Amino acid sequence: MQNEKIATRVAYGRALAALGEKYDFFVMDADLSGSTQTAMFGKKFPERFANCGIAEENIPHIFDRFYMGRSGKSGIGLALTKEIVHLHKGTIRARNGDTGAVFEISIPVSR
């Protein structure tokens, strides 16, 4: 239907998936593939799609219980991990590396 009104991001996702049929390219996203609709491309061409890392705006909050970023996903796993690491008098940090999310955990050694 040509007169169908759709959100710009939906049109972007559809166009990207259509272009993937014609051209050989790779798409990378960071935790926003649902919002940016690049997930359409990823579903069609999983070998040419990477949804890596954590959106920079979410990093300060990923260890909060049930924090929900723009992707709409939430959970308790990282919050529990942080609690366990802290019970062992350790620290945990998160950052984006070259190939995706990186978690650094330090736990002191007892003697």
Quote the distance between the C-alpha of residue 41 and its chain's center. 15
Catalytic residue (one of 56, 57, 83, 104)? 56
Which CA distances in Å does 36 have to 9, 26, 27, 48, 70? 6, 15, 12, 16, 10
CB 55 within 8 A of CB 70: yes
Quote the distance between the C-alpha of residue 9 and its chain's center. 17
Is 57 catalytic? The answer is no
Looking at the chain, the number of H-run helices and the number of E-run strands are: 4, 4
Give the residue numbers annotated as catalytic, written as ranges: 56
